[in-house]
Amino acid sequence: MNEFETTIVDLGHDGRGVARQGEKVVFVAGALPGEQVRLKLRKRHRHYDEAELLEVLSASPDRVEPRCQHYQQCSGCSLQHMAPAAQIEAKQRVLADNFQRIGKVAPESWLPPLTDAPWGYRRRGRLSVRDVAKKGRVLVGFREESNPRFVADIQRCEVVHPALGPHIGALAEMISGLQGRADIAQVEFAAGDERMALVFRHLKPLVEADLEALVQFGQAHGLGIYLQPGGNDSVHPLWPQEMTLSFSIGGGRPGDEVSLEFRPLDFVQVNAGMNHKMMAQAMELLDPQPGDRVLDLFCGLGNFSLPIARRVAEVVGVEGEHGLVERAAQNAARNGLAHARFYTANLFEDQRNAPWAREAWDSILIDPPRAGADKVLAYLPRKQTRRLVYVSCHPGSLARDAGLLVHEHGFRLVKAGVMDMFPHTAHVESIALFERA
């Protein structure tokens, strides 16, 4: 029988409810722990099954009405049916479980979770574009929840920055009227403090009338328009010809503030409000002193490096992408921070003989991608380093690396906590402080 009733016992790492049918785990989107539900089995796998939620028979007190009208169709969010306070509690449990299960460690104390506005927070992202002949129009949005091959038919997005979120339907309508609409594959968006830019990836040159339509859309909505006919290096402005994207970031006290300029496809923290709170938290944990020398690994544009440089004797940032390193150095110069240096290096390769790796550092800040920093931790930190702050976008890799720092490098895991960088998703962002034992 494909339909059955059961109780949801847990929340999976991807935000789906977890039930059990016999010896098998069953994953079901839209269900919350503690709920009695009626399900329909959809897909069988060797070690688990997937089911569709037909009815909630007994609702969790954490269940709320999703704000987005496209919630069940679009894959952009997975937890809008869960109260924000419950979401962050669930993420804290995920982090604690990963520490215990993978790293065999636990923090001496937990930091209060960092949260910010749960709507309109996303200032950076990519929208898929699909010309659908059966509908006679173009769809613009994130992928469908039930079938990632298709683009969700949405008119607005509640989590995207308000400069664009309410206007996705208008964007789709504008692209539908282009002669080259089938040649536009995606639209990326990036917002600074003052302005947002849209980057149109087009597979063939656009005719003059299409270019004019793009400009008119940008003018009507106050959006900068960029074209991308090829790789990332091909991105160039269409309107206006001169446009600067930038944001300010501080370290939690007057005098820390810096301004960072960036290009539309550069990596920036997706949530501006959380970025400010994260930076203040990182600075408090790092506790930089005027005579300190600080190493910032996976430094990007200098999001952490430059506010830290306001307080210390020297900062060195290391990043694998050459363009980001160039812009980090330019940002340092614009902010008058001559004691901030930047290097390009692949931190997933052995860099122990690089000059910066052989120097003595009082503190280290690490903000790696999902793969974590285990390759770096094979040779860093050296004995002179007394403190390390680790910013993580993946609880599993943080837990693994925490085990290395505690069990092999002689550090204590002093504090750790979660940060809700991506509300309404199962994404777990966290921060941890390690000190010499």
Q: Sign (positive/negative) of CA torsion 296, 301, 303, 305?
A: positive
Q: How many CB atoms lie within 10 A of CB 207?
A: 12
3-state class (DSSP) for residue 163: coil
> Are 59 and 87 contacting, i.e. CB atoms less than 8 angstroms apart?
no
393 is catalytic: yes
CA distance from start to end of the chain: 57
Per-residue 3-state assignment (H helix, E strand, C coil) for 274-330:
HHHHHHHHHHHHHCCCCCCEEEEECCCCCCCHHHHHCCCCEEEEEECCHHHHHHHHH
DSSP-assigned letter for residue 99: I
Selected catalytic residue, list 74, 77, 299, 393: 393
**Amino acid residing at 93:** R
DSSP string, 206-238: PPHHHHHHHHHHHHHHTEEEEEESSSGGG-EEE
Could you tell me the strand order of the sheet in which 10-11 lies?
3-7, 36-44, 48-58, 24-28, 17-21, 10-11
Nearest to 188 by CA among 244, 108, 267: 267
Active site residues: 393
